[in-house]
Chains A and B, each alone.
Chain A
Amino acid sequence: MADLNTSLHTQLLLKADALLDQDITPGKPVVAAWGLMNAGKSYLLNMLTNHIQTECFRTNDIRETAELKEFETDDFIFLDTPGLDANNADDLIALQGAAKADIVLFVHQPQGELEKIEVDFLRKLKDSFGQFAEQNIILVLSKSDVESNTGIAAIEKRMLEQCRDDLGFTPRCYALSGSRFHAGVMQKKDGLVRASHLYDLAQHLDALNTDASAVKRERQRVAIDDIIAELTQAENALQQKHAQAKRQIVEGFQPFDKAMKDFHVWMKNTLNKFPAV
């Protein structure tokens, strides 16, 4: 139990250190791809950074991205994050990646609505963006070519309903096909490129590239408010434990204190009776 407490304490301090070390000097906006494993994050980033034939961000069916990988273009720094699965340390790296980001592309593959774990992560993300959440978190429905247009539209509608009803915000959503884009570029077929909708997303990113430092400041403000709340909560928990232990000790020594008090009274009375020389 003590080890667990120490571990939680250490984690909180590490988080605090990371926040203190965070650089919020204005620079290129950081665009992070975030989502479950194999959602298509790395493929999306390869397309956005023009890595058509060679992979900058490695894609694989197995968990490939166990660290943050970045690529800098003229306008942005693109960041790939480990796939979320809510059960290991890689999620912490993914969260660190999201913490650095000015824009997050939340990538979801169209097997259905957002899963609970995705909603939970999106909630944290949305909270951390404060007033910029709706503008700077973008839902990306990847691999849209694996489903009919009607199916994609239904999933997109459902995802936006979940965001509105469960999370209280309405982000933009882009249904993209990386493979159409790839084929379009390779085969020089503009129709396929257009149908991939990748440039729509790219244009939207360009439009967002305005005041990255304002987003950073807002995110830092939110993060600091959160960590102050966490530190206060941890302090209260420690104070409670400390007070409880102290009470236990005080109660434990009560019989001794009472015995000593009785002895004192007895000695005082006895001494009073003593005929002094």
Chain B
Amino acid sequence: MALPWLIGAAVLGVGALIASASSDDNSSSGNGDDEERKRRERAERERREREKQEERQSIKAALKNEGAQRAADFKQTLSGWVEVNYHSPAPFKAGILQTGKQYKRVVAEHFVDREELSMLESKTRLNLNEFEACYDVELTMTDAFEEIAAEMTEWEVQLQELQEYRAQFEQIRQHLGR
């Protein structure tokens, strides 16, 4: 009666061996696919990075180009008010960092502060500061602008004097009216 049990156990043992051998074959084939996938992914990443880099370079070049092209326009739009003197043939100095941030020149003293151009609108002052930060440029007032600015300053002084005198007289008048 022991034989059938032995035969049964032997069959089970052979089945298990076959199953085990089949499993080893599958594992060996999976390792090869993963490496390939990883390689492909790396290649894709590298391709994408190359494309990004090219795009970055292209945008940087476009910015340089645009800045250079607009230099003459800015000079033209300021004519009659501000003399624009570019210090180099390629005066546009602003650029883009790899992080996407824009970098500009650091200007020690802005034209609007040096000339005390408080009569300009705040947006114009900011624009002039920005212009100096983007371009290697020297800005000076035209004679006509200087004349108007000097007159305005004189009028401000005169106005102050008149207001002070009027205040004095109004005080005396109030006193006389009592």
Contact = CB atoms under 8 A, between A and B. Distances in A.
Contacts of B163: 235
Nearest to B99: A276
Secondary structure at the A interface, as helix, strand, loop or mixed, is helix
Contact of A257 (B56, B63, B73, B123): B123
Contacts of B168: 20
Nearest to A263: B70
B63 A267 contact: yes
Contacts of B107: none
Nearest to B94: A267
B62 interface: yes
Contacts of A267: 63, 102
Interface in A237-277: 238-239, 241-242, 245-246, 248-250, 252-253, 255-261, 263-264, 266-267, 270-271, 273-277
Contacts of B46: none
Contacts of B128: 256
A231 to B, nearest CB: 4
A68 interface: no
Contact of B130 (A217, A239, A260, A266): A260
A93 to B, nearest CB: 22
B119 interface: yes
A270 B63 contact: yes
Interface string B160-173: 01110110111011
Contacts of B102: 267, 271
B100 A250 contact: no
Given A228-B170, A256-B78, A273 B165 contact: no
A225 B166 CA distance: 10
Sort chain A's interface into a size bin: 35 or more
B152 interface: yes
A12 B159 CA distance: 12
B124 interface: yes
B59 A274 contact: yes
B137 interface: no
A148 interface: no
Interface of B: 52, 55-56, 59, 62-63, 66, 70, 73-74, 77-78, 80-81, 96, 98-100, 102, 119-121, 123-124, 127-128, 130-131, 145, 148, 151-152, 154-156, 158-159, 161-163, 165-166, 168-170, 172-173, 176-177
Interface of A: 2, 6, 9, 12-13, 16, 19-20, 217, 220-221, 224-225, 227-228, 231-232, 234-235, 238-239, 241-242, 245-246, 248-250, 252-253, 255-261, 263-264, 266-267, 270-271, 273-277
Sorted from nearest, which 4 A-B pairs have the closest CB atoms?
A276-B100, A255-B77, A260-B127, A256-B77
